[in-house]
Structure 1
Amino acid sequence: MTGPGQAVAAGPCVPTPESVCEAQVGSDVAKELGWLVGQIQHGYLTAATRAVDEVPGGLRGVYVLGAAIRGDAPNQIEVARRFGIDRTVMVHLIDDLEKAGLVERRPDPADRRARMIVGTDRGRDAHDAAQARLRRVEDHVLAPLGPDERAAFTAMAHRVVAHLISLDPTQAESACQAASSQIDTHVPRPGAKG
């Protein structure tokens, strides 16, 4: 026991990640998956948006440019569906990428009515530079995790996303809608008779 005026031996005063979150928003909110995922998303998107702001369309532009460079962009409609981009937005995005010299529209040999989106040499350079900056953003966001933890975190995130997309593989963003519908049918609403 210590009395008045006696020193108390103490360990280093290092807050835990949980205590930092709880101090900011309260213990109940800090434990909610939605809040945690939202904070990760906000931190990543804020830094990533700045990192790729020279690519027309920002992150969307980088995704579309990557698909064009890899040869995964058979046409605008397919790429728009894959990345959950509205078709009218996609037309303007491809226009902007084309004006910047990053992609070209070429006739599809299999369907003369369709246009393939093909990355240019300039587009490849821009994509490589954007990917390097995005890797630095990932390093910043995941800085508190060691290499094994990063790998595990990424693997678990892939499994969750694969599950959500499997609910509707034709449109990634509708996976969330499908999940909501599935949950709504299993969870009684307050005041509802079950």
Structure 2
Amino acid sequence: MTQLTGAQPDAPRPDAPGALEEPCVPADLSACDAADDDDITKDVGWLVGQIQHGYLITASAAIDSLPGGLRGLRVLGDAVHGKAPNQIEVARRFGIDRTVMVRLVDDMEKAGLVERQPDPADRRARRIVGTERGRAAYEDAQTRLRLVEDHVLAPLSADERAAFTAMARRVVAHLVVLDPTQVESACQAATRQLDQNDPLPGAAG
């Protein structure tokens, strides 16, 4: 199996994207909870932001050898599962700039992770197809991300993690019902943050 050579998820490198940015987490959360005048740790937006911040930094460090990092992993996942009809559709799906998308697929193709193949339905288009090496790299990255999840959710018991995940899914489902574009918007928001923290070489954020 092709192995990624990124840093271990519990020890992000100092030069990893965002590693020098310290999240604004109070030194003693229990003390903050007890303080009547400190509402920050009761703010859902702040809490969700801190979880996302910690996850993105750790996950980016864990799979930093994969072209495009987390953004590249999404594209690779579509490619190995046969869900990447062409670059334009994948770029639209994940809110990736077309120029950045071309460079990303170029890098992944050079690494032997994907191939551009003619689309039988449109001779002008090229399908993005995952290779065996790409599938192995994708599975390895997924294993690393499961370790990242364990790292981020370490304070929770198995039952608490299951409950946390179930409740988060309910909230996401609620938002999607209110606005079906929420799923795409969330992907685009995460991509924008990745662009700011981890731009591809030669690409603007």
TM-score of the aligned structures, taking structure 2 as reference length: 0.70
Partner of 2:184: 172
Partner of 1:58: 69
Does residue 27 of structure 1 match 2:38? Answer: yes
8 Å Cα contact 2:95/2:188 also seen in 1: no
Deviation at 1:52, TM superposition (A): 0.5
8 Å Cα contact 2:87/2:126 also seen in 1: yes
Does residue 154 of structure 1 match 2:140? Answer: no
Count matched residues.
160
Does residue 131 of structure 1 match 2:142? Answer: yes
Cα distance per residue 1:16-59 (max 9 Å; x no partner)? x85155489x7211111111011101110111001000100000
8 Å Cα contact 2:95/2:187 also seen in 1: no
Distance in structure 2 (CA, Å) of the matches to 1:171 and 1:80: 15
Partner of 2:25: none
Cα distance per residue 1:58-79 (max 9 Å; x no partner)? 0011111011001111111221
Match 1:98 to one of 102, 109, 131? 109
Does residue 67 of structure 1 match 2:73? Answer: no
8 Å Cα contact 1:81/1:171 also seen in 2: no
Q: One-letter code of the match for 1:55? A: L
Structure 2 gap ranges (5+): 1-27, 190-205
| Greater C-alpha Rg | 1
TM-score of the aligned structures, taking structure 1 as reference length: 0.73
Q: For the structure 1 residues 22 and 62, does the alpha-carbon distance in structure 2 shift closer, same or farther, using more than 3 Å as the test?
A: same
Relative CO higher for 1 or 2, CA cutoff 8 Å, sep ≥ 6?
2
SS of structure 1 residue aligned to 2:116: strand
SS of structure 2 residue aligned to 1:72: coil
Does residue 83 of structure 1 match 2:97? Answer: no
Q: For the structure 1 residues 170 and 152, does the alpha-carbon distance in structure 2 shift closer, same or farther, using more than 3 Å as the test?
A: closer
Deviation at 1:174, TM superposition (A): 7.2
Structure 1 gap ranges (5+): 1-16, 178-194
Q: One-letter code of the match for 2:100? A: V
Runs of 4+ in 1 over 4 A off after TM superposition: 20-24, 174-177
